Amino acid sequence: MEFRGVMTAITTPFNDDLTVDHDFLARHANWLVDHGCTGIVPLGSLGEGNTLQFDEKLAIVETCVAALDGRAPVMPGISALSTAEAVRIARGSAERGAEALMVLPPYVHNGKMHETRGHCAAIFEATDLPCMLYNNPFAYGVDILPEIIGELAAEHPSLRAIKESRWSGATGWIAGLVNALPAESVRLFDLAMAGRRQDAFELYAWFLPLLRMDTVPEFVQLIKLVQAEVGMGSETVRPPRQALPEADRREALALVRKRLATRPGPKP
């Protein structure tokens, strides 16, 4: 498993009756890889994982693995209310062909660090798959500091990577807007990795108003809105999420259309 390149935190597509649209999911996963993405990360917060039942989660992993057929790895987000449920999801994902796991702290419970460590350790030990630890204190209320990460890595050889929002030393990018704009996302990452900072910042300046959509509570609705606008997905979300209020949707759609109208082409 190479934790490199642009890996998509993929959205979960729903039919009108709110069942998972597996046909589109398979098509979307391949479209992303066709545009340069190096992996697919289902079941995360952008994937509305908290609204998915156990069997639905494993079915999504199975669909992604079968659709990609070895073209790129599938790394499901492992999150649950209980440690036992998280371990079940991890083992079920491994059985269905996942090549890595993205390990999250437990939902809701913001306990002491020894409890977070115990939860993560149980997932690390549940399978032989390499794991990425997702540290997002703003979303999960727990900040896994570098010294703790170092201790966990020493104790658990399966811990191979960290998902963090820092510039220095990154070898990969797990992104949300890539669901709609994979070519621009991959180009931005490649420019940054090549040290072409000026070109990267020019593209980043264009991208930034859209990237900010991934930082607000309505990030799922907004990213799905962009997907719908580029013809690669629908706006349908599962409750408790609901469609954007019309005024908010109009404002967001105007911004999206303005950005798309000035979409930059690749530089040599």
Residues designated as active site: 134, 163
Is there a contact between 144 and 135 (Cβ–Cβ < 8 Å)? yes
User: How many distinct helices (H) and strands (E) make up the chain?
Assistant: 10, 7
Residue 205, sorted as left (phi over 0), alpha (psi -120 to 50) or beta, turns out to be alpha
Dist. CA 102–CA 78, nearest whole Å: 6
Structural element, H or E, at residue 259: helix 246-261
For 98, 112, 197, 212, the CA distances from 61, given in Å and listed in that order, are: 7, 31, 36, 28
d(CA 32, CA 6): 10
What are the two backbone dihedrals, phi and then psi, of residue 222, each rounded to the nearest 5 degrees?
A: -70, -45
Own/partner contacts of 25-28, CB < 8 Å, gap of 24 or more, are: 25/60, 25/63, 25/64, 25/67, 26/63, 26/64, 26/66, 26/67, 27/67, 28/179, 28/232, 28/233
Strand 5-9 to strand 172-175: parallel, antiparallel, or no bridges (unpaired)?
A: parallel
Residue 98 has phi, psi (to 5 degrees) of -60, 145
